[in-house]
């Protein structure tokens, strides 16, 4: 899926791009049908909310689930990344599903992802980004992702190490910085149905509140990095900061539908 010049210009200006309903309800049914199985697994990659059995994050799911393996190579997710990062050779730096579970989903503090990629993984430049796919509706109540538009233009901000709030230590921005940036850029929280996509710059400041609703807010994140910008420090596990820098080879656009058909035939 190719972005238009106008969409690329909007991304450069705002630091993010929202694309509603890119995947069909049938495709999303196949994907979300896998989630109960994924979140019920007991393994290092599946992190729970503090003091609760509710899932917070499932990491590196593409390595242990065949449907998510297709999403890691899906052209609607990966090709816009090649355009925005200016390279055909991208690898998966991180791959995760954030559950933000009904009633239990807790906050993510204000941060830039590149602060963590730089401080923890020694990623040379911010030429890396997130491609988010809504696996459930994100609405104003269930802890949608919040962005400070244009904050990516600040470059990498000073950050403190939050080892308490998140499912893994995260480098977060302080309240004075957020107050200044919000005074300039405001806050947006793009909302839409499952199958919608959010693309955002590695330096865009973002956060999300808790989820007190009965509606889980599942989001898949592909953190794509240029192969020539690979990380140089390997202190985090491979499943949280991938060390395989092989370029992603994209699958056909109809891979999910083809998989669903094959599964249906095999079951008949």
Q: Minimum distance from CB of 217 to ligand SIN (Å)? A: 8
Out of 151, 172, 208, 211, the only residue in the binding site for ligand SIN (CB under 6 A) is 208
Burial of 179 (0-12, 13-18, 19+ CB in 10 A): exposed
First-to-final CA distance of the chain:
33
C-beta of 27 vs 113, nearer to Mn ion: 113
Closest distance of CB 236 from ligand SIN, Å: 14
136 or 219: whose CB is closer to ligand SIN? 219
| Six-digit token string for 267 | 């079951």
* Smaller CB separation from ligand SIN, 187 or 260: 187
State which residue, 14 or 130, has the beta carbon closest to ligand SIN: 130
Site for Mn ion in 67-126 (CB under 5 A): 113
- For residues 41 and 119, give the distance between their C-alpha atoms in angstroms, rounded to a whole number: 30
Nearer to ligand SIN, 74 or 100 (CB): 100
Half-sphere exposure at residue 185, Cβ-oriented, CA atoms within 13 angstroms: 24
- When CB distances are held under 5 to 8 angstroms depending on the partner's kind, the choice from Mn ion, ligand SIN, none that residue 58 binds is none
Residue 199 interacts with, from Mn ion, ligand SIN, none (CB under 5-8 Å by kind):
none
Told to check if 219 binds ligand SIN by CB under 6 A, we report: yes
In angstroms, what is the minimal distance from the CB of 257 to ligand SIN? Answer: 27
Q: Which of 54, 65, 98, 151 binds ligand SIN (CB under 6 A)?
A: 98
- Cβ–Cβ under 8 Å, residues 243 and 236: no
Number of residues that bind ligand SIN (CB under 6 A): 7
Instruction: From the list Mn ion, ligand SIN, none, pick the one residue 106 interacts with, judged by a Cβ distance below 5 to 8 Å according to partner type.
Output: none
Which of ligand SIN, Mn ion, none does 219 bind, CB closer than 5 to 8 A by kind? ligand SIN
Show the CA angle centred on residue 112, arms to residues 160 and 211, nearest 5°. 95
Q: Contact letters (x/-) for ligand SIN, 14-43, by CB under 6 A? A: ------------------------------
Among 28, 145, 255, 256, binds ligand SIN (CB under 6 A): 145
Q: Least distance to Mn ion from the beta carbon of 75, Å?
A: 24
What is the binding site for ligand SIN (CB under 6 A)?
Answer: 98, 100, 108, 145, 206, 208, 219
What is the binding site for Mn ion (CB under 5 A)?
Answer: 113
């Amino acid at each position: 899926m190719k972005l238009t010049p106008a969409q690329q210009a909007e991304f450069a200006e705002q630091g993010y791009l929202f694309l509603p309903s890119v995947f069909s309800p049938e495709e999303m049914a196949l994907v979300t049908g896998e989630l109960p199985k994924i979140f019920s697994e007991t393994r290092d990659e599946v992190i729970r909310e503090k003091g609760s059995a509710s899932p917070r994050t499932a990491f590196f799911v593409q390595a242990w689930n065949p449907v998510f393996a297709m999403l890691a190579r899906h052209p609607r997710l990966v090709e816009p990344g090649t355009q925005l990062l200016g390279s055909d050779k991208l690898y998966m730096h991180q791959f995760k599903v954030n559950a933000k579970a009904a009633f239990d989903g807790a906050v993510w503090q204000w941060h830039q992802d590149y602060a963590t990629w730089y401080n923890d993984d020694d990623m040379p430049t911010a030429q890396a980004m997130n491609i988010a796919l809504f696996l459930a509706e994100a609405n104003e109540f269930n802890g949608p992702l919040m962005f400070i538009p244009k904050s990516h233009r600040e470059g990498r901000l000073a950050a403190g190490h939050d080892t308490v709030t998140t499912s893994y230590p995260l480098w977060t921005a302080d309240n004075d910085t957020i107050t200044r940036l919000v005074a300039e850029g405001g806050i947006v929280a793009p909302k839409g149905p499952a199958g919608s996509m959010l693309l955002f710059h590695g330096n865009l400041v973002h956060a999300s509140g808790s989820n007190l609703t009965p509606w889980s807010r599942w989001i898949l994140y592909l953190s794509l990095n240029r192969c020539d910008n690979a990380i140089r420090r390997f202190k985090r596990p491979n499943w949280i900061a991938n060390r395989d820098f092989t370029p992603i080879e994209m699958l056909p656009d109809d891979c999910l539908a083809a998989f669903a058909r094959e599964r249906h035939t095999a079951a008949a």
